[in-house]
């Protein structure tokens, strides 16, 4: 077998999972050239919640962050996470907006785009995949891994076959909740290796306490790439530590051959940064704790902490266990959607409403209604008819690709943004986050503006692990 490859997640999912994506660009720049010497397969540096966090909380231009990283990283591929037709926002966008975003992502420095759909509805990947190929990027299709009566090994095998036929360059098993168990992973990877020659990558989280065992069995099964985070930003709701796994796997014939001297320098650099955020309370020690409830409830660690936060605000902490028990019931009612953004927030909120109101589906968020109508894509399994009736009444359920109902919008957004947007990158910021982008764009071109001017809301979307 070929040597094991490592994707470093510290600059995206590592700090997103542990400290609400608050790592600043200035804290990244000094160590980038050392990271470039480690020998990583790729570095995940953009996408997910980084774009939102930059403009909402940090008063930073996410595009400029990407350009600066590219300037300092010459030898290692740069990778990002994209939510298919949702891009980095929280609704579906028109195909022209999807294409423009991908064009500029690649132009500004991205090599590999990991694209996924929360429902594994491949129709929601079509526009992204077409654009990635058009602009000569590497298209890595991710399966959103979850468990249910319909999410079987055979289901994932067929999904990967479809993705390969659509033009995927590689496949990622995206275990966003950290619920893939070691022996199930071994079986899944072996079966996938029988039907595809595409490189396979595995992404997980340490929340449930089994991530290192998972990676060991995955490597034995022939996984090509694993996602890890440098030790100060690893563990808990993040990924397993890069150095530890590099040392462990160096003892086998698939030695990843990382530059340990450079790797240890990277770890030493991030230790005081981690300690600073812990002292400030941005990195809560609780997210570093093992929580086997993740394996029981199939709920991502970030979602657990977010639910608890919401319940504290409602003075309803005593009902926390009731809400956790309600989550799998809601998920079953709604056709077993994987608990990944935005579905994790939606299912969690519905479970919370069901418990707090004392009546199931008495109060239903608009997003859940849109999901039941098919506006997010096709549910993995049939939605309970009685529940459907209670949520949307006699409203029609669409069966077409959701984006087919969205007219081209980029030029209209450019016109709407007006003088606020000086570049197409600015227009995309405005299109994705119209509520916070105007204030950010004003501050971007006004040297007197401060980070305190950026609106701090919707934090629940930032903190949930993806």
Q: What is the pLDDT of residues 209-234, one digit of tens each?
A: 999 999 999 999 999 999 999 999 99
In DSSP terms, 170 is beta-bridged to 140
- Under a CB-based contact definition with an 8 Å cutoff, are residues 141 and 166 in contact? yes
Report pLDDT for 305.
Answer: 63
Helix H or strand E encompassing 300: none
Residue 409: burial class (beta carbons within 10 Å; 0-12, 13-18, 19+): middle
- Under a CB-based contact definition with an 8 Å cutoff, are residues 8 and 44 in contact? yes
∠ CA 316-317-321, nearest 5°, is: 110
- Locus of tokens 């959103």: 144
Asked if pLDDT for residue 300 goes beyond 80, the answer is no
Report pLDDT for 447.
Answer: 60
Q: What is the mean pLDDT of residues 108-115?
A: 98
Confidence at 465, pLDDT banded by 50, 70, 90: very low
Q: What is the mean pLDDT of residues 352-360?
A: 94
Q: What is the mean pLDDT of residues 378-403?
A: 94
Residue 80: name the closest of 29, 44, 117, 54 by CA: 44
Residue 334: name the closest of 376, 370, 387 by CA: 387
Confidence at 409, pLDDT banded by 50, 70, 90: very high
Q: What is the mean pLDDT of residues 428-453?
A: 81
- Which residues are within 8 A (CB) of 372 and not within 5 positions of it... i.e. 6 or more apart? 334, 383, 387, 388, 391, 392, 397
**Range in 234-243, 292-301, 410-419 with the lowest mean pLDDT:** 292-301
| Gap between the Cα atoms of 162 and 168, Å rounded | 9
Report pLDDT for 301.
Answer: 62
Reported as a single tens digit per residue, the pLDDT across 124-137 is 999 999 999 999 99
Residue 212: name the closest of 185, 190, 187 by CA: 185
Asked if pLDDT for residue 460 goes beyond 80, the answer is no
Asked if pLDDT for residue 464 goes beyond 90, the answer is no
Q: Could you tell me the end-to-end alpha-carbon distance of the chain, in angstroms, rounded to an integer?
A: 30
Report pLDDT for 461.
Answer: 36
Report pLDDT for 457.
Answer: 38
Report pLDDT for 450.
Answer: 43
Q: What tokens were used for 148? A: 């249910």
Reported as a single tens digit per residue, the pLDDT across 48-81 is 999 999 999 999 999 999 999 999 999 999 999 9
Asked if pLDDT for residue 462 goes beyond 50, the answer is no
| Gap between the Cα atoms of 102 and 410, Å rounded | 13
Neighbours of 412 (CB within 10 A): 14
Asked if pLDDT for residue 340 goes beyond 90, the answer is no
For residue 71, is it left (φ>0), alpha (ψ between -120 and 50) or beta?
alpha
- Under a CB-based contact definition with an 8 Å cutoff, are residues 301 and 237 in contact? yes
* Angle, helix 343-357 to helix 320-333, in steps of 10 degrees: 120
In DSSP terms, 202 is beta-bridged to 173, 226
Question: Which percentage of the chain shows pLDDT scores above 90?
Answer: 82
Q: What tokens were used for 211? A: 């991530």
Report pLDDT for 294.
Answer: 82
Report pLDDT for 89.
Answer: 86
| Gap between the Cα atoms of 206 and 237, Å rounded | 6
Q: What tokens were used for 174? A: 């995206």
Q: What is the mean pLDDT of residues 107-126?
A: 97
Report pLDDT for 299.
Answer: 73
Q: What is the mean pLDDT of residues 198-209?
A: 96
Mean pLDDT score across all residues of the chain = 92
Report pLDDT for 286.
Answer: 82
Classified as helix, coil or strand, 46 is strand
- Under a CB-based contact definition with an 8 Å cutoff, are residues 83 and 118 in contact? yes
Residue 349: name the closest of 315, 307, 319 by CA: 307
Confidence at 334, pLDDT banded by 50, 70, 90: very high
Q: Which residue has the higher pLDDT, 91 or 109?
A: 109
Q: What is the mean pLDDT of residues 398-421?
A: 96
∠ CA 69-74-78, nearest 5°, is: 55
Confidence at 302, pLDDT banded by 50, 70, 90: low
Report pLDDT for 83.
Answer: 95
Reported as a single tens digit per residue, the pLDDT across 251-272 is 999 999 999 999 999 999 999 9
**Range in 49-58, 70-79, 87-96, 311-320 with the lowest mean pLDDT:** 311-320
Asked if pLDDT for residue 374 goes beyond 50, the answer is yes
Asked if pLDDT for residue 455 goes beyond 70, the answer is no
């Amino acid at each position: 077998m070929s040597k094991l490859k490592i994707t470093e997640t510290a600059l995206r999912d590592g700090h997103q999972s542990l400290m609400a994506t608050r790592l600043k660009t200035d804290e990244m720049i000094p160590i980038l050239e050392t990271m470039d010497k480690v020998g990583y397969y790729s570095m995940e540096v953009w996408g997910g919640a980084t774009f939102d966090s930059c403009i909402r909380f940090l008063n930073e231009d996410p595009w400029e962050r990407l350009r600066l990283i590219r300037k300092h990283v010459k030898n290692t591929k740069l990778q990002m996470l994209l939510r298919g037709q949702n891009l980095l926002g929280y609704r579906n966008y028109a195909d022209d907006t999807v294409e423009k975003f991908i064009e500029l992502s690649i132009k500004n420095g991205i090599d590999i785009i990991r694209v996924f759909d929360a429902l594994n509805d491949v129709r929601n990947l079509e526009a992204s995949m077409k654009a990635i190929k058009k602009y000569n990027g590497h298209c890595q299709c991710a399966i959103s891994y979850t468990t249910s009566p319909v999410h079987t090994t055979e289901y994932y095998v067929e999904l990967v076959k479809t993705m390969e036929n659509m033009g995927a360059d590689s496949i990622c098993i995206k275990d966003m909740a950290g619920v893939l168990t070691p022996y199930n992973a071994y079986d899944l990877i072996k079966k996938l290796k029988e039907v595809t020659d595409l490189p396979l990558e595995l992404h997980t989280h340490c929340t449930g306490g089994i991530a290192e065992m998972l990676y060991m069995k995955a490597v034995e099964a022939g996984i090509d790439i694993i996602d890890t985070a440098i030790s100060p930003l690893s563990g808990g709701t993040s990924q397993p530590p890069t150095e530890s796994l590099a040392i462990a796997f160096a003892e086998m014939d698939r030695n990843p051959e990382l530059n340990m001297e450079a790797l240890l320098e990277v770890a030493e650099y991030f230790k005081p940064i981690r300690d600073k955020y812990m002292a400030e309370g941005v990195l809560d020690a609780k997210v570093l704790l093992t929580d086997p409830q993740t394996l029981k409830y199939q709920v991502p660690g970030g979602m657990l902490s977010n639910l608890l936060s919401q319940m504290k605000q409602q003075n309803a902490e005593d009902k926390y266990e009731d809400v956790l028990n309600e989550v799998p019931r809601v998920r079953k009612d709604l056709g077993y959607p994987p608990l990944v953004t935005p579905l994790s927030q939606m299912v969690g909120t519905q479970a919370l409403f069901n418990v707090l109101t004392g009546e199931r589906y008495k109060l239903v968020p608009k997003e859940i209604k849109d999901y039941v109508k098919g506006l997010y894509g096709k549910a993995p399994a049939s939605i309970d008819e009685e529940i459907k009736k209670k949520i949307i009444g006699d409203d029609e359920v669409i069966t077409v690709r959701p984006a087919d109902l969205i007219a081209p919008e980029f030029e209209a957004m450019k016109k709407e943004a007006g003088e606020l947007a000086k570049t197409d990158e600015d227009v995309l910021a405005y299109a994705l986050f119209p509520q916070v982008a105007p204030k950010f764009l004003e501050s971007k071109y006004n040297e007197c503006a401060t980070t305190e001017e950026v609106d701090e809301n919707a934090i629940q979307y930032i903190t949930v692990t993806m």
